[in-house]
Structure 1
Amino acid sequence: MAMMTSPLGIEISPATTSLANQRFIEASGIGTTIRPDFVSVTWSAGGKDNPGKPYDLIQQLERNQLQVLPHLTGLYKTPTAITQELHELTRLGVKRVLALRGDVNHHQRPTGYFPHATNLIRYIKQHSQLKIAAAAYPERHPESDSWGTELFYLRAKVQAGATELFTQFCFDVPTIFRWLDRIHIADIRVPVVVGVLPLTSQTRIQQAEIMLGHPLPMELKNRLAVAQTESELRAIGIQVALEQIYSLQRVGVGVQIYTFNDVQLLQTIWKTIK
């Protein structure tokens, strides 16, 4: 079956120094041998700002004429801070952002201005010309009590100004397809990019289960359990990710690969799919 054209991008994170960003870009080949349709750049994790503010990394990627998609979180930000960030991103040449509520940090008090992603999306729409992407969850957001609630808030994001959806990773492709049917029936008609997370180690498996809030599918766990060494586990995890990418591309769904700034992982996957 011929694959339909769909965007293929990667997610990376800023380092703490400009030199470290430069070395990562050069070592990985991003912008030269590896030219994704977009590069998603994380901003914070666990409710804390990354000490390596993304501006330098974004600037280096823009110089390589790549489409950069910075993450922008609102839960602990003021309107003034968001406005400053929007101005800086626009100055750097950014055309679109991924608007997120942000992870909850129990040691920090939300400002109250952007309690939900919808509030942030609406503010960005009113105060910039940037295109806006929003997050989506094929297995429902952990805080959603029903699909009715999930689809209500997802539709609200689109109505507020989001023009594309980026999903949390999900290891069950049929579940992703059922979710695509759900949003279609709910008349949510915007492009979708699905996150793919390669399970390259036991640590990554544990992280994935914590982020998902439930164990991996039993079929996948059994497949990974065959590995006798970390290198075998890594190889199986990459193969699973490749199979998922192919399945999504066949139906024209966009893909974002979580790289964790793993140069070897990125090069291995890119060499295979390109």
Structure 2
Amino acid sequence: MSVPVGIEISAQATPAANQAWLARSGLGTTLRPAFVTITDRTGGQVLAPGWLDMVERLTAVRIPVLPHLTGLYQTPGGLKQRVQALTALGVRRYLVLRGDRKVNHRPTGYYPHATDLLRALHRDPRFTLGAAADPLRHPESATWGTELFYLRAKVQAGAQFLVTQFCFDDDALVTWLARLQAAQLQVPVIVGVLPLTSRDRLRQAERLAGHTLPPALVRQFAACPDESAVRAFGIRLARAQINFLRQQGVGVHLYTFNDVELIHILKALIN
């Protein structure tokens, strides 16, 4: 069964750095994933030259790009400028997010939820829009009823596919997919996979997801004698999860953190 496998990357600060990183990674030449999402470290506040340059370079070599669009700190004027610049490059698909809250930064109030940004973008029929989901339930959702209510709201606001947070519990993933089916949320699903390549990455994964890692998984990593063993074990787990997700018929979204060695190791699964 053929399912899409894409990767998430971050743009470099300058066009020259983008060019160097792309050459090392092979992205656009020997590596051609089904799509590439590009994170926006500014939270949508600045149209960074390096970010726009990365989009341009990938679209030029016919790699489907899904730039992140975040709403929490965005203004209508800033959104218009960003979308116009991306549309000029041929971008028609977006991953639409609320965005992470930042300490000492006040949201603009224009797009406080992903649904608000989805509605604004959905007015243009040229765009295909994706939204975020969490197989373990978003930390701000008290119940599964609440979680499914907001997922349905995203779909009604214009989301045509869902991209999930990473999840290290395959049984929970299967249960979540069944919940979507029972709730008649019948949109394509792409599941996030995060290779746990260091002990720092384990701690970062818990912080980013807002969930603790499965205790059995924590014990397995604790038994690794050194960082090299942690990395090897984490990559084996990621490889196994990608194969599992393919068997389930859902797409894969690989969080790379721009790790070129990791990309090369998993290239056969990505292409």
TM score, norm. by length of structure 2? 0.96
Alignment check: 8 A CA contact 1:47 1:105 kept: no
Q: Which amino acid aligns with 1:130?
A: F
Selected match of 1:220 from 214, 217, 220: 217
TM score, norm. by length of structure 1? 0.95
1:248 aligns with 2:224: no
Alignment check: 8 A CA contact 2:38 2:66 kept: yes
CA-CA distance at 1:76 after TM superposition: 0.7
Selected match of 2:103 from 98, 106, 118: 106
Q: Which amino acid aligns with 2:204?
A: Q
Distance in 2 of aligned mates of 1:237 and 1:116 = 33
Which residues of 2 match residues 227-266 of structure 1 at below 5 A?
A: 227-266=224-263
Alignment check: 8 A CA contact 2:44 2:69 kept: no
Match of 1:82 in 2: 79
Alignment check: 8 A CA contact 2:9 2:37 kept: yes
Q: 1:53 to 1:200 in 2, by over 3 A?
A: same
Cα RMSD (Å): 1.6
Selected match of 1:9 from 2, 6, 10: 6
Alignment check: 8 A CA contact 2:98 2:112 kept: yes
Which residues of 2 match residues 164-243 of structure 1 at below 5 A?
A: 164-243=161-240
Q: 1:132 to 1:160 in 2, by over 3 A?
A: same
Match of 1:65 in 2: 62
Percent identity of paired positions between Structure 1 and Structure 2: 51
Match of 1:152 in 2: 149
Selected match of 1:139 from 114, 136, 140: 136
Q: Tell me the secondary structure at the aligned position of residue 94 of structure 1.
A: coil
Q: Tell me the secondary structure at the aligned position of residue 168 of structure 1.
A: strand
CA-CA distance at 1:44 after TM superposition: 2.4
Selected match of 2:29 from 32, 35, 46: 32
Selected match of 2:126 from 129, 132, 135: 129
Distance in 2 of aligned mates of 1:242 and 1:46 = 30
CA-CA distance at 1:188 after TM superposition: 0.5
Distance in 2 of aligned mates of 1:76 and 1:46 = 6
CA-CA distance at 1:59 after TM superposition: 0.3
Task: Compare 49-58 and 143-152 and name the one that shifted more.
Answer: 49-58
Structure 1: unaligned runs, 5 residues or longer: none
